[in-house]
Amino acid sequence: MPAKIARAFLCWVFMAGAALGQGQAQAETKFAPGLSWVNEDGTVLTITAVGPNGLLTGSVTTQAGCGAKKSQALTGWYFGAGAGGALTFSVNWEGCNSVTTWSAQYSNATGSFRALWHLAIASAPAWNGIVAGAHTFVMQPSKK
């Protein structure tokens, strides 16, 4: 009888461990179209398509500066692998004489990505013509 109990216990431990592992896998969020993220400044990024070759399209809406609160088109690339992916995207700020490019690493575990960005202003080269920074984008809850 003790052998049956031991086998039952081991079976339960194995199944409980498998269930926990499945729960963790289900918590992962793949980078996909239809999702939106927001950064510390309130800038919202929405991906509308990820092509089979990684081509990204979507929009960015910033809360400050030129073009504030106006959705701007973005184009970029995404390469997913393992626990996340690498992405880059750019925005030509319509009416603002500037462009911004972000390079980032996406985490399936957190559903967020950390990005470095460079904004270049259309003018003759000047010491303050390119601005750089970093942001963390966290996934926004679905609006269903």
Is the CB of residue 93 less than 8 Å from the CB of residue 110? no
Is the predicted pLDDT of residue 6 greater than 90, yes or no? no
pLDDT band of residue 7 (cuts 50, 70, 90) is very low
And the tokens for 30?
């793949």
And the tokens for 72?
């701007």
Please list the residues that pair with 125 across neighbouring strands: none
Helix (H) or strand (E) holding 7: helix 2-27
> Which tens digit of pLDDT belongs to each residue from 20-45?
343 344 457 888 899 999 999 999 99
Is the predicted pLDDT of residue 93 greater than 50, yes or no? yes
* pLDDT over 70 percentage in the chain: 80
Q: Full-prediction pTM beyond 0.95? A: no
> Which tens digit of pLDDT belongs to each residue from 11-22?
333 333 333 343
And the tokens for 81?
């692998």
DSSP per residue, 53-102: T-EEEEEEE-SSSTTTT--EEEEEEEEEETTEEEEEEEEEETTTTEEEEE
